[in-house]
Amino acid sequence: MASVFTKIISGEIPSYKIHEDDLTITILTIEPIHLGHCLVIPKQEVNHWYDVPEAAYLQVQKNAQKVAKAIKAVTGCSRVLTAAIGFEVQHYHLHLIPAWSMADLNFSKASKRSETEMKEIQEKIRAAL
């Protein structure tokens, strides 16, 4: 069965897309810890980060750097934290989380935001790329 990310990549499920290339897609997470919280996802559905083909893995990292700089510029955060957890969706993805302290790496703080807020931050990050 295809993961939710594979369904997003194929267009079956809508998303707030930030960036896309041949190997990866970057989207806003639907339950951000802070506005601007993104996921960088290889298009190939692979469960574990260490099994992702090298070219796709390196592209995830390259795009993470680029998008993180845009997130930092737009949100004014002190850092953009990264996390690759893997329990909630069995398709490798790298979280990019705007943060002002280590306490911001707390997924229990995640919550849905309004469509207006999501579209606004999406537009700002895309413009900063």
Q: Which pLDDT score is estimated for 77?
A: 98
pLDDT tens by residue, the chain, 129 residues: 789 999 999 999 999 999 999 999 999 999 999 999 999 999 999 999 999 999 999 999 999 999 999 999 999 999 999 999 988 899 999 999 999 999 999 999 999 999 999 999 999 999 999
Q: Which residues are catalytic?
A: 93
Q: State the number of CA atoms in the 13 A half-sphere of 97 facing the CB.
A: 23
Q: What is the pTM of this model?
A: 0.96
CB 70 within 8 A of CB 125: yes
Helices (H) and strands (E) in the chain, counts: 3, 5
In the structure encoding, which two tokens stand for residue 106, read together?
A: 């707390």
Q: Which fold has domain 4-128?
A: HIT family, subunit A (3.30.428)
CB 25 within 8 A of CB 64: no
> Phi-psi category of 46—alpha, beta or left, where left has phi over 0 and alpha has psi -120 to 50?
beta
The full set of domain ranges for the chain reads 4-128
